[in-house]
Chain A
Amino acid sequence: MGAGCKNLRSTVTGRMTTGAAIFRIDGVSKSYGGVKALDSVTLEAGVNEYVSLLGPSGSGKTTLLRVIAGFEVPDVGRVVFQGRDITGLPAHERGIGFVFQNFALFPHLTVKKNVAFGMMNGGVAVPAAEIDQRCQAMIDMVGLSGLEDRGVEQISGGQRQRVALARTLVMQPKLVLLDEPLGALDANLRGRMRNELRAIRERMGVTFLHVTGSETEALAMGDRIVVLDRGRIIQAGTPDDVYSAPSSPAVAHFLNRFNLFDGTLTAGKFTGPFGTVASPHAVRAPQDVYAIRYDRVNVLPLTATVSGPALKATYIASEYLGSSVMNFFETSDGKVVEVEHHLSLGAPEIYVARQDYLLTWNPEQAIVFGREAT
């Protein structure tokens, strides 16, 4: 585990690794009334790449999309698209698609007219026959056949989402920005739309930049995940990279898969509520934090003797999650520790409420952040 952390750079940028870049933003900053929404962000995306932008609300991810789309002008920095500097170009001359969180369909138009809108009113004149043909093909592709003449207020949320997508894709943009487009849908629809987005991308060869606040969505969809926090990119990499080797306590916290403990790292040893543990492969970070994944914690009776970390905690409750069970324990200082048991590994243990147990784990599987790490 520690070995995987070593090759992380100290200044993280979202540089891509393969293929030609379709777009690049260079040192982009943007403030609103003194608050920095973006702080010198640099990011590249390759042709046909699917990039997930992950971050808590207020991390600047939507602002980043709006700068790329041309709805906002950055204070400093450049936006380059298809080899051209488009920093000062108005949105309608960029040819970059944008799918809004609230879909932003034209409420006074039918499904078909929404999809045809760009071709009918855009700068490039498209023959009527071609408009018709491209519209129909796109409507068929997103599965809206038969709803062409409905008003957009007469269709369901999932259908509206697909109109928004069709309206954007029919313009054949090389880059599509998705601003939490699945946020307004229920879990079932979200899953279906994820599959559809993947299929569309494979068919059309579009670069997607997908902003999401959901770590599962980011992990599921992205070829590459870019994690933003307070206007900065704090980690970029494949879903596996980010998931198994978060570069900072903030990323670990945001992935929502780690128990985080405060403590002190001195001379390769981390001292926390669980005792002192040797931690030779610590990752450099602004504060000392010990992270262990929910599904890496073992629960033992209080009487057991362990050689590694040992944390006394009281069992509170458990949640059944379908494929696993999440057990909640509370330490003496009120901190909740989550322990995940995958049901594929066997039936879950039955714990007694308000009884103390001993939590332990293999220290090799922990990720340790600290100021003194190299």
Chain B
Amino acid sequence: MESRVLKPILAVYVVAFLLFLYGPFFVLTILSFQQGPDGGPQFPITEWSLYWYKQIFGLTPPSRIAPLPVGEALIRSLVLAFMTMVTSTVLGVMSAQAFRRKFTGSSVVFYLIVLGMMVPGVLTGLGTSLLANNVLGIERHWYTTAFATHVAYTYPFAFLVMLAILNRFDGSVEEASWSLGVTPWTTFRKVTFPLIFPGVLSAMLFAFTLSLDEFPRSLFAAGGSGDQTLPLAIYGTFAVEIHPNIFAFGVLTTLFSFALLSVYGILMGLSVRRARKLAMQEDIA
């Protein structure tokens, strides 16, 4: 009875959801196989080709369309995302660890940390560059000011992930370790960290992906043209004219992300399976 009404509605909802989620990417993927260099970013496909993919890697003869200026920007963005990931995850794990015990002012500190993901990105970027330029006298670079804004932004995510993980963490294994004469630091390395590692992995993934495609915070904080991150460089090419080479690049980065996610999924799946087996054993016992 109910399902006769509900099911079609749900079906429509799911189709719409999938359309909005994957539709743009689907269109983008098709257009990336447009013929080049004369084919534009629109239908119909005049001829299927891999021209734009080759163009990204500089495998096509020179033409009036400049190659995407992504080489250095990509490296910069990857290095920046990596630096941000390491810093934010370390900070996130450490501060979440601190929050396992109540301390005076803990709620104030909590909101101060979380503020980093609440404040509008453009404001943070602008504010940081003004602060660096006019007050501190620090030169703006992707590895100085932009790095700072990226950490301020991704650290709360890593912190919240670790907070959720440590919330469910049973501290008695740590106490057991102490009672065996093992120092708190060694206990953290040998017991706590291996057990919270799936969470650490999530925090790392969050920080990395958020930093990699961060635009508003980099806009002002990243400095001059020699400091452009990937999102800034791509945005720069939009300003003139759009060619399917951007779509081809989008497809490649998406595939890269999927590869990363798959690795994460496999690692996660393994540890979840272990946990489930543990729970099952406990039910039997």
Q: Do A92 and B176 have beta carbons less than 8 Å apart?
A: no
Q: How far is the CA of A93 from the CA of B183 in the complex (A)?
A: 8
Q: Do A91 and B179 have beta carbons less than 8 Å apart?
A: yes
Between B177, B179, B281, the greatest number of chain A beta carbons within 10 A of the residue's beta carbon is seen for: B179
Q: Do A69 and B195 have beta carbons less than 8 Å apart?
A: no
Q: How far is the CA of A70 from the CA of B179 in the complex (A)?
A: 8
Q: Do A156 and B285 have beta carbons less than 8 Å apart?
A: yes
Q: Do B179 and A168 have beta carbons less than 8 Å apart?
A: yes
Per-residue B-contact encoding for A144-183, CB less than 8 Å = 1, 0 else:
0000000001101100100010011001000000000000
Contact with B186, one of A98, A121, A154, A156 (Cβ below 8 angstroms): A121
Is B181 close to A, CB under 8 A? yes
Measured between beta carbons, the chain B residues less than 8 angstroms from A154 are 277, 281
Question: Looking at the complex, which of B37-45, B167-175, B199-207, B255-263 is the stretch in contact with chain A?
Answer: B167-175
Scan residues 67-108 of chain A and give those whose CB is less than 8 A from a CB of chain B: 69-71, 90-98, 100, 102, 104-108
Scan residues 175-201 of chain B and give those whose CB is less than 8 A from a CB of chain A: 175-184, 186-187, 190-191, 194-195
Separation in Å of the A99 CB from the closest CB of chain B?
Answer: 9
Measured between beta carbons, the chain B residues less than 8 angstroms from A167 are 176, 180
Measured between beta carbons, the chain A residues less than 8 angstroms from B191 are 106
Measured between beta carbons, the chain B residues less than 8 angstroms from A108 are 194-195
Q: How far is the CA of A154 from the CA of B285 in the complex (A)?
A: 11
Q: Is the interface of A mostly helix, strand, loop or mixed?
A: loop
Is B100 close to A, CB under 8 A? no
Q: Do B180 and A117 have beta carbons less than 8 Å apart?
A: yes
Q: Do B172 and A100 have beta carbons less than 8 Å apart?
A: yes
Measured between beta carbons, the chain B residues less than 8 angstroms from A171 are 180-181
Q: Is the interface of B mostly helix, strand, loop or mixed?
A: helix
Contact with A123, one of B179, B181, B284 (Cβ below 8 angstroms): B181
Is A363 close to B, CB under 8 A? no
Q: Do A121 and B190 have beta carbons less than 8 Å apart?
A: yes
Is B6 close to A, CB under 8 A? no
Q: Do A98 and B183 have beta carbons less than 8 Å apart?
A: no
Query: B175: nearest residue on chain A (CB-CB)?
Result: A71
Q: How far is the CA of A124 from the CA of B180 in the complex (A)?
A: 11
Measured between beta carbons, the chain B residues less than 8 angstroms from A102 are 170, 172
Contact with B195, one of A93, A107, A123, A156 (Cβ below 8 angstroms): A107
Per-residue A-contact encoding for B247-285, CB less than 8 Å = 1, 0 else:
000000000000000000000000000100110011011
Q: How far is the CA of A100 from the CA of B175 in the complex (A)?
A: 9
Q: How far is the CA of A98 from the CA of B171 in the complex (A)?
A: 14
Measured between beta carbons, the chain B residues less than 8 angstroms from A153 are 274, 277-278, 281
Separation in Å of the B279 CB from the closest CB of chain A?
Answer: 9
Q: Do A104 and B182 have beta carbons less than 8 Å apart?
A: no
Measured between beta carbons, the chain A residues less than 8 angstroms from B183 are 92, 123
Measured between beta carbons, the chain A residues less than 8 angstroms from B181 are 92-93, 95, 118, 122-124, 171
The number of residues on chain B lying at the interface, defined by a beta carbon within 8 Å of a beta carbon of chain A, is: 26
Q: Do B277 and A98 have beta carbons less than 8 Å apart?
A: no
Q: How far is the CA of A153 from the CA of B278 in the complex (A)?
A: 5
Per-residue A-contact encoding for B151-178, CB less than 8 Å = 1, 0 else:
0000000000000000000101101111
Measured between beta carbons, the chain A residues less than 8 angstroms from B195 are 107-108
Separation in Å of the B30 CB from the closest CB of chain A?
Answer: 47
Q: How far is the CA of A106 from the CA of B175 in the complex (A)?
A: 11
Per-residue B-contact encoding for A2-22, CB less than 8 Å = 1, 0 else:
000000000000000000000
Measured between beta carbons, the chain B residues less than 8 angstroms from A97 are 179-180
Q: Do B180 and A118 have beta carbons less than 8 Å apart?
A: yes
Known: A167-B180, A168-B180. A104 touches B175 (CB 8 A): yes
Known: A107-B195, A153-B278, A160-B285. A96 touches B172 (CB 8 A): no
Q: Do B182 and A117 have beta carbons less than 8 Å apart?
A: yes
Separation in Å of the B28 CB from the closest CB of chain A?
Answer: 43
Measured between beta carbons, the chain A residues less than 8 angstroms from B187 are 92, 121
Contact with A98, one of B175, B274, B285 (Cβ below 8 angstroms): B175
Query: B180: nearest residue on chain A (CB-CB)?
Result: A118
Measured between beta carbons, the chain B residues less than 8 angstroms from A184 are 285
Measured between beta carbons, the chain B residues less than 8 angstroms from A124 are 181
Separation in Å of the B274 CB from the closest CB of chain A?
Answer: 7
Q: Do A104 and B281 have beta carbons less than 8 Å apart?
A: no
Q: Do B281 and A100 have beta carbons less than 8 Å apart?
A: no
Separation in Å of the A152 CB from the closest CB of chain B?
Answer: 9
Separation in Å of the A361 CB from the closest CB of chain B?
Answer: 44
Query: B285: nearest residue on chain A (CB-CB)?
Result: A157
Scan residues 91-142 of chain A and give those whose CB is less than 8 A from a CB of chain B: 91-98, 100, 102, 104-108, 117-118, 121-124
Separation in Å of the B199 CB from the closest CB of chain A?
Answer: 14
Known: A121-B186, A154-B281, A160-B285. A104 touches B178 (CB 8 A): no
16 residue pairs A–B, Cβ–Cβ below 8 Å: A90-B178, A92-B177, A92-B178, A104-B170, A104-B172, A104-B173, A104-B175, A106-B176, A117-B180, A118-B181, A121-B190, A122-B182, A123-B181, A153-B278, A157-B285, A168-B179
Task: Identify 12 new A-B residue pairs, CB closer than 8 A, beyond the known A92-B181, A157-B285, A168-B180.
Answer: A69-B175, A91-B175, A92-B183, A104-B173, A107-B173, A108-B194, A117-B190, A121-B190, A153-B281, A167-B176, A167-B180, A171-B180
Q: Which residues of B are interface residues toward A (Cβ below 8 A)?
A: 170, 172-173, 175-184, 186-187, 190-191, 194-195, 274, 277-278, 281-282, 284-285
Question: Top 5 nearest A-B pairs by Cβ distance?
Answer: A118-B180, A157-B285, A122-B181, A91-B178, A104-B172
